[in-house]
Copies of this chain bind each other. A is one copy, B any other.
Amino acid sequence: MKNRIKIIKSPEKLTNIIKELKKRGKSVGFVPTMGALHNGHFSLIKKARKENDIVVVSIFVNPTQFGPNEDYKNYPRTFKEDKENCLNLGVDIIFAPTAEKLYPEGYKTFVEVKDLSDILCGKFRPGHFKGVATIVLKLFNIVQPDTAYFGLKDYQQFVIINKMVKDLNLNIKIKGVSTVREKDGLALSSRNKYLNEQERKEALLLYKSLKSAEQLIKYENVKNSDVIKKNIKNILLSGNIIKNKDIDYIAIVDAHSLAELKKIKGDVLIALAVHLGKARLIDNIVIRKVK
């Protein structure tokens, strides 16, 4: 297996290969990525490897999901290492198209999942989730997976993709995979590379604030969202770098509908987004079945 990884750049070629594999009854697992692969991606790939005959990983930094002042140009690109890692994890096919190939001149078609795309991160990154939904749909059409794997660190993305798949009658199973963290709790992200040593330390406040919220809800029976949010904010601001203006949002919402919760009940998502140095970091936890 190790020497047989295929690297494919042409959408049409990949579609034809998959068509042949499907004819032979092979199941296809798909992990869409923007490259700069880390342990978070690896856990998706490992799960896909366990559950499917064929594993396809796409590596594509998707321009349509970046805002004009965001980090499209500087987003880390580490194809050589990514390839080596995919090889070691038993990936069968890397799909690595060019932006010109996926968005040729005169490209005009976009998919939008209403409401869910305008809240949380969508509020601060207009157009982001339209770009995400569109590229994921394109990739689904090219790869034709039976199952696709998404990291739950991008929780809103996971909810939006699920909704798109259901609404558009796509016959694809979507699986969410738990956030992988450093030993000290920092959620893995390709953008952690942007942090200097001091910022890296400060970044621990994100998970710390979420764990503290969990503590309050689970063991101190606090059910008022405003109280929890205030507590999170205090922790985020307790270091030397993060200021009020750096916090895009602290949100407490229903984990399925993403509707805001005044009172904490049911399956609850606590999510936040914070600017730290050159990075915009997101993190979240889900607390299930709160009574």
Contact = CB atoms under 8 A, between A and B. Distances in A.
Contacts of A141: 168-171
Nearest to A139: B169
Interface in A117-169: 133, 137-138, 141-142, 163-164, 167-169
Contact of A11 (B19, B23, B164, B169): B169
A120 to B, nearest CB: 15
Contacts of A138: 167-169
A156 B220 CA distance: 61
Contacts of A113: 108-109
A176 to B, nearest CB: 19
A87 interface: no
Contacts of A137: 168
A92 to B, nearest CB: 20
A112 interface: yes
Per assembly, the copies of the chain total 2
A115 interface: yes
Nearest to A103: B167
A15 interface: yes
> Which of A109, A111, A142, A171 gathers most chain B CB within 10 Å?
A109
Interface string A78-115: 00000000000000000000000010000111111111
A116 interface: yes
A11 B114 CA distance: 22
Contact of A168 (B15, B109, B112): B109
Interface in A18-63: 19, 23, 25
Contacts of A116: 108
A19 B27 CA distance: 13
A15 B110 CA distance: 24
Contacts of A167: 107-109, 138
A85 B108 CA distance: 37
A164 B109 contact: yes
A109 B163 contact: yes
A109 B111 contact: yes
A112 B168 CA distance: 13
Contacts of A170: 141
A150 to B, nearest CB: 17
Q: Which 7 A-B pairs give the minimum distances between C-beta atoms?
A: A109-B167, A108-B114, A141-B169, A142-B169, A109-B113, A138-B169, A109-B164
Interface of A: 11, 15, 19, 23, 25, 102, 107-116, 133, 137-138, 141-142, 163-164, 167-171
